[in-house]
Amino acid sequence: MFWNMRIFQSLKQSRAKTTAFSLVEVTLALGIAAFCLIAVLGLLPTGLKTQQASIQQTTANQIISTIFADLRADIRLPPGLDSKVCGDNPPCAWGDLHGHWHDVATPFTLYFTNEAKQTGTLNGAPPADAVFRATIIYRFPPSETTTLANITVTWPAQGGVPTGSVTSVMAVNR
Please indicate, yes or no, if residue 132 is contained in any of the structural domains: yes
Phi, psi dihedrals of residue 13, rounded to the nearest 5°: -70, -40
Please indicate, yes or no, if residue 3 is contained in any of the structural domains: no
Number of separate domains in the chain: 1
Expressed as residue numbers, the domain containing 126 is 44-173
Under 8 Å between Cβ of 132 and 117: no
Note down pLDDT in tens along the chain; length 174 residues.
555 666 666 665 555 556 788 999 999 999 999 999 999 999 999 999 999 999 999 999 999 999 888 887 765 545 555 555 565 565 665 555 555 554 555 788 899 999 989 888 888 888 989 999 999 888 776 666 677 889 999 998 887 788 899 999 988 765
Please indicate, yes or no, if residue 11 is contained in any of the structural domains: no
Please indicate, yes or no, if residue 4 is contained in any of the structural domains: no
Please indicate, yes or no, if residue 10 is contained in any of the structural domains: no
Please indicate, yes or no, if residue 9 is contained in any of the structural domains: no
In sequence order, what are the residues at sequence separation of 6 or more whose Cβ sits closer than 8 angstroms to the Cβ of residue 106?
A: 100, 137, 138
Q: What is the pLDDT of residue 137?
A: 87
Cα torsion 59, 65, 67, 72 to 10°: value is -170
